A and B are shown apart, each in its own frame.
Chain A
């Protein structure tokens, strides 16, 4: 069952040098209680997409088309059409966001406990001070911070603890969806491993769904249930983590997988991807990936591939359109 349905979402940045199509006609489903990984390089539009879902975009960014439908128990709402008051109630309570740098997302002049309390006080005005205090301690404990640190300020905590505190705030109101934008990128591998484990445990316990955004595909393959790969503002492939790892269908996904040095097994040759990511103001015609694609043929420079269902997941590649899928349709 889907908790969030993104349909045909497009976001433009208006700039003097031309319009940047940061997110272009993206459709994605988020199922209840799953971790959906969103992978892509810088400039692929993954963070813009996350901001659009939380209605956090500011000019010059503009949502030009599409909808983000959130499913409550008995009703559906389009997040993009929520009035300010309804939006306020929606945030934190139903959808929370955790950003990359907890140093920037936490208030530096407020103790972490007070910041969690703040969310509770605003969104649950009926809660007593004592109940809030207990909830704060409970939340901190859940993310692995001892209760006596609730009076600590962000600068007194290590990077890992800050990120845990940011996760505690996101959990405060038991949301259905948590968007995590590169939550572990600034952390060391050992600490990252602990936080990832924490996210999975909390998810199993509370049953929220996660959109997990990162450029690190190997990390996503471990933590996600399903993965969507973005390139130049579009989703180019979706599938379960296992399928994507075993048999990637889009040449870009394949290239990404072959760019990671492996820790175990034989030292295979790394192939990488030639060239550089495209300029979003001046995208190549047809498939945006074709100038870097080793399997590109003539049509790739003319026809823009659609995201079509394949034997597993979906893929936007002309190679796929010409083989198998046409027969099905």
Chain B
């Protein structure tokens, strides 16, 4: 809990309406309730992890924070001010401060252009350079920051000449070009080989630390979140269900879903692997379960769980969970 809050989401809710498909009552198509009332804040110089299974809405949260699409309700606040910027100059100004990094570095770089082009474009569009010499100098500096050296060699490479890890470093350098205050990394290492993931995560950590960036690390891998984030938020079926400092959350999880997630992760240090849980799969978000969305899979579900959404129980030190077990 060091720096000042840079980027904040308050009660973010996003419902998607299908363009095609069967109509429900009154001829309307039922919305996909992707994100419900998610509130989070990112602090300067600190790494926050958002952990959840695929389809839980974590990427939607990233896109709402990056203003890729508008919220159904709720606000995105940058430096404490609510922003709605989806096009034109306002959007460009927002993008100068909040940048995104995507999962697939093979898809996020244009295969027809050299590294130099990818890095020079944001510099030019956002007016950070005036001359060609300045441009080369700044591109070199960016490559240096992401450890792609010798910089003059990497500058003129095409994306296909780079490995996955190197491409992801170029994507990170491109995000840094505009000197953002917040960086949202959506599964930045899950497409990379195990042996090079570590280097990319270390780089992100170093950048957050040195440049005071607020970093949101979105992942399905809770073990990596333990190592690289100061705090972890766990998301399930569109809702945040637990939050805490990463060490405490992973060592003593409170919510039954967090416990299930930790039990299920492969861990060769464990003496005997746990048996099958047979708890089924995450629910449909078109017609989510009533009350707590985890109750159909929950081993300790009580009658109240299927009736009412659990309130947030504060457990001290910013730790909280949304589970009826802890509500007195």
What is A's interface to B at a CB cutoff of 8 Å?
41-42, 144, 158, 160-161, 188-194, 196-198, 201, 215-219, 221-223, 241, 245, 255-256, 259-265, 267, 270-274, 276-277
- Nearest CB to that of B196 among chain A residues? A276
Q: Which residues of A contact B265 (CB under 8 A)?
A: 189, 263
- Nearest CB to that of A41 among chain B residues? B193
Contact (A188, B223) CB under 8 Å given A218-B267, A276-B166, A276-B196: no
A274 to chain B, nearest CB (A): 8
Q: Which residues of A contact B250 (CB under 8 A)?
A: 263
Q: Is the CB of B276 within 8 A of A276?
A: no
How many interface residues does B have (CB within 8 Å)?
45
User: Can you name 18 extra interface pairs (CB under 8 A) apart from A189-B266, A217-B268, A264-B251?
Assistant: A41-B195, A189-B220, A189-B265, A190-B260, A190-B264, A190-B277, A193-B274, A197-B273, A216-B266, A219-B266, A245-B268, A256-B194, A261-B226, A261-B227, A261-B228, A263-B226, A263-B265, A274-B199
Q: Is the CB of B276 within 8 A of A198?
A: yes
Q: Is the CB of B223 within 8 A of A256?
A: no
Separation of A189 and B267 alpha carbons in the complex (Å): 12
Separation of A270 and B223 alpha carbons in the complex (Å): 12
Contact (A276, B163) CB under 8 Å given A189-B265, A219-B266: yes
B51 to chain A, nearest CB (A): 10
Q: Is the CB of A194 within 8 A of B195?
A: no
Contact (A263, B193) CB under 8 Å given A189-B53, A190-B277, A198-B276: no
Q: Is the CB of B220 within 8 A of A273?
A: no
Q: Is the CB of B165 within 8 A of A276?
A: yes
Separation of A11 and B65 alpha carbons in the complex (Å): 48
Contact with A along B187-209 (1 / 0, CB 8 A): 00000011111110010000000
Separation of A265 and B250 alpha carbons in the complex (Å): 10
Give the A-B contact count at a CB cut-off of 8 A: 115
Q: Is the CB of B198 within 8 A of A272?
A: yes
Say if the beta carbon of B210 comes within 8 Å of chain A.
Answer: no
Q: Is the CB of A272 within 8 A of B195?
A: yes
Q: Is the CB of A261 within 8 A of B268?
A: no
Spot the interface stretch: B124-132, B135-143, B278-286, B318-326: B278-286
Q: Which residues of A contact B278 (CB under 8 A)?
A: 144, 194
Say if the beta carbon of B275 comes within 8 Å of chain A.
Answer: yes
- Nearest CB to that of A222 among chain B residues? B273
Contact (A261, B224) CB under 8 Å given A197-B275, A276-B163, A276-B166: yes
Say if the beta carbon of B37 comes within 8 Å of chain A.
Answer: no
Q: Is the CB of A263 within 8 A of B222?
A: yes
Q: Which residues of B contact A189 (CB under 8 A)?
A: 53, 220, 261, 264-266
Say if the beta carbon of B104 comes within 8 Å of chain A.
Answer: no
Say if the beta carbon of B270 comes within 8 Å of chain A.
Answer: yes
- In the A-B complex, the 3 residue pairs with the closest CB atoms: A272-B198, A197-B276, A221-B268
Say if the beta carbon of B54 comes within 8 Å of chain A.
Answer: yes
Q: Is the CB of B268 within 8 A of A264?
A: no
Say if the beta carbon of B262 comes within 8 Å of chain A.
Answer: yes
Q: Is the CB of A264 within 8 A of B269?
A: yes
Say if the beta carbon of B230 comes within 8 Å of chain A.
Answer: no
Q: Would you list 13 pairs from A and B whose C-beta atoms are within 8 A, ordered by A residue?
A: A41-B195, A144-B278, A188-B53, A189-B264, A193-B264, A197-B273, A198-B276, A216-B194, A218-B267, A263-B250, A264-B267, A276-B196, A277-B193
Within 8 A of A (CB), among B230-289: 247, 250-251, 260-270, 273-279, 281-282
Q: Is the CB of B166 within 8 A of A193?
A: no
B269 to chain A, nearest CB (A): 6
Separation of A158 and B55 alpha carbons in the complex (Å): 11
Separation of A192 and B276 alpha carbons in the complex (Å): 10
